[in-house]
């Protein structure tokens, strides 16, 4: 887990809203994703986590910054080279109903990336489809059927099979279980865990559900208003977040009875308008520890302990000797 698979540098995504407003959904994000890890990306709705995930694989084109895949800049790749390289990067979508073409059979949908990006013959693709359907637990007889014949959980398995078809190295899973019944969620998460282990997949797992993330992620990145505000290993994060926002997120997870009740921190106020973010630290409007400097000066993402970065003037964990160094990125 030390070779960087994807290095994201100053990635920026802007949308032009109504009346010339520019919404900066992703604001100069630096992020390194290491080979074989599952990085959990968490944050509340509208913080830009889906947009970040989509822009890393260029489903949404970034407006600025660079994406390096295995050391090669893929930010401006085009044409056939781009299509074939990008097939290494796949996605599992949130909505199991919208992500499959209702008019095509399951087999055709799963075979498509093999035929288009991997140059497989029809016979090869058919055999691979059968294998994939077995692997996701649906059985090969599903190949001839259409999406409407399947339940949400089954469709999500089909979506996973399609994402895995071109043998990708990296998969963005964008809230893959949030549209499913709780009883089905665990099955799909377990399937993903198994596939990650068996195939050595690297994954960006986007979710607002910390319980799910805790189960699957090796590292956690917390996003707020288009910026990454904390990166930590899973155990460090759940032991105690370094950012006040992370603390509030964690306190909102309902605890099971045996555990001592945590103090529940309620965030007041709305998520600020991403087209007009507050000055200083973007979180100061809702932060219970905010002091004067937070309102005027934007903190940088800095390393406060080994492999732990936080964007806060007053991190909640003791700052180790490392921290004398100013902003660091991509170290682990």
52 forms part of the interface with other proteins (CB under 8 A): no
Count of residues that bind other proteins according to CB under 8 A: 33
Please identify which residue in 117, 138, 173, 204 interacts with other proteins, judged by CB under 8 A.
117
Please identify which residue in 12, 68, 116, 295 interacts with other proteins, judged by CB under 8 A.
116
Q: Which of residues 281-310 bind other proteins (CB under 8 A)?
A: none
124 forms part of the interface with other proteins (CB under 8 A): no
Binding mask 166-195 for other proteins (x = CB under 8 A): x-----------------------------
151 forms part of the interface with other proteins (CB under 8 A): no
Which part of the chain contacts other proteins (CB under 8 A), choosing from 97-105, 180-188, 217-225, 235-243?
97-105
Distance CA 152, CA 149 (A): 10
Which part of the chain contacts other proteins (CB under 8 A), choosing from 70-78, 115-123, 228-236, 321-329?
115-123
Q: How far is the CB of 5 from other proteins (least distance, A)?
A: 17
For tokens 């074989």, name the residue.
Answer: 36
133 forms part of the interface with other proteins (CB under 8 A): no
Nearest to 107 by CA among 73, 131, 80: 131
Measured in whole angstroms, how far is the alpha carbon of residue 143 from the centre of its chain?
29
Please identify which residue in 63, 84, 135, 193 interacts with other proteins, judged by CB under 8 A.
84
Q: How far is the CB of 60 from other proteins (least distance, A)?
A: 9
Nearest to 58 by CA among 99, 34, 26, 35: 26
SS3 track for 160-176: HHHHHCCCCCEEEEECC
Smaller CB separation from other proteins, 112 or 209:
112
Which part of the chain contacts other proteins (CB under 8 A), choosing from 70-78, 102-110, 123-131, 310-318?
102-110
| Beta bridge partners of residue 238, listed in sequence order | none
Nearest to 150 by CA among 195, 198, 99, 113: 99
Is residue 188 within 8 A of residue 156, CB to CB? The reply is yes
Q: How far is the CB of 65 from other proteins (least distance, A)?
A: 20
Q: Distance of CA 38 to CAs 32, 204, 228, 292, Å? A: 12, 6, 17, 37
90 forms part of the interface with other proteins (CB under 8 A): yes
Long-range (24+ apart) CB contacts under 8 A made by 132-140 are 132/161, 132/164, 132/165, 133/106, 133/161, 135/161, 135/164, 135/195, 136/160, 136/161, 136/164, 136/191, 137/191
Is residue 179 within 8 A of residue 98, CB to CB? The reply is no
Nearest to 204 by CA among 224, 182, 220, 180: 220
* Strand duo 64-69 + 4-16: pairing: antiparallel
Smaller CB separation from other proteins, 49 or 219:
49
Q: How far is the CB of 103 from other proteins (least distance, A)?
A: 4
Please identify which residue in 83, 197, 264, 288 interacts with other proteins, judged by CB under 8 A.
83
Sign of the C-alpha dihedral, residues 215, 220, 167, 99?
positive
100 forms part of the interface with other proteins (CB under 8 A): yes
Residues that bind other proteins (CB under 8 A): 54, 57, 59, 83-84, 86-87, 89-91, 93, 95, 98-104, 108-109, 112-113, 116-118, 146, 148, 159, 162-163, 165-166
């Amino acid at each position: 887990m030390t070779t960087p698979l994807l290095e994201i540098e100053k990635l920026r995504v802007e949308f032009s809203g109504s009346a010339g407003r520019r919404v900066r959904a992703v604001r100069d994000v630096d992020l390194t994703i290491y080979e074989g890890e599952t990085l959990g990306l968490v944050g509340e709705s509208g913080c830009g986590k889906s947009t970040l995930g989509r822009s890393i694989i260029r489903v949404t084109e970034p407006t600025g910054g660079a994406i390096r895949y295995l050391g090669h800049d893929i930010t401006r790749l085009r044409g056939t080279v781009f299509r074939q390289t990008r097939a290494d990067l796949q996605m599992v979508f949130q909505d199991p109903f919208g992500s499959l073409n209702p008019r095509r059979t399951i087999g055709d949908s799963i075979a498509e990336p093999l035929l288009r990006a991997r140059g497989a013959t029809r016979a090869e693709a058919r055999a691979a489809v059968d294998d994939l359907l077995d692997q996701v637990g649906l059985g090969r007889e599903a190949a001839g059927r259409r999406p409407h014949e399947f339940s949400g959980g089954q469709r999500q398995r089909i979506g996973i099979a399609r994402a895995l078809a071109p043998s990708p190295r990296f998969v963005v899973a964008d809230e893959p279980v949030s549209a499913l019944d709780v009883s089905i969620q665990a099955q799909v998460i377990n399937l993903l865990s198994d596939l990650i282990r068996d195939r050595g997949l690297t994954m960006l797992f986007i979710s607002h559900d910390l319980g799910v993330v805790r189960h699957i992620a090796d590292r956690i990145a917390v996003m707020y208003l288009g910026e990454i505000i904390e990166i930590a290993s899973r155990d460090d994060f759940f032991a105690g977040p370094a950012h006040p926002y992370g603390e509030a997120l964690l306190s909102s997870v309902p605890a099971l009875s045996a555990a001592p009740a945590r103090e529940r921190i309620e965030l007041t106020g709305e998520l600020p308008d991403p087209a007009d973010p507050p000055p200083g630290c973007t979180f100061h409007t809702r932060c219970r520890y905010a002091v004067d400097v937070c309102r005027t000066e934007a903190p940088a993402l800095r390393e406060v302990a080994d492999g732990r970065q936080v964007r806060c003037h007053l991190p909640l964990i003791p700052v180790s000797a490392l921290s004398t160094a100013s902003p660091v990125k991509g170290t682990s």
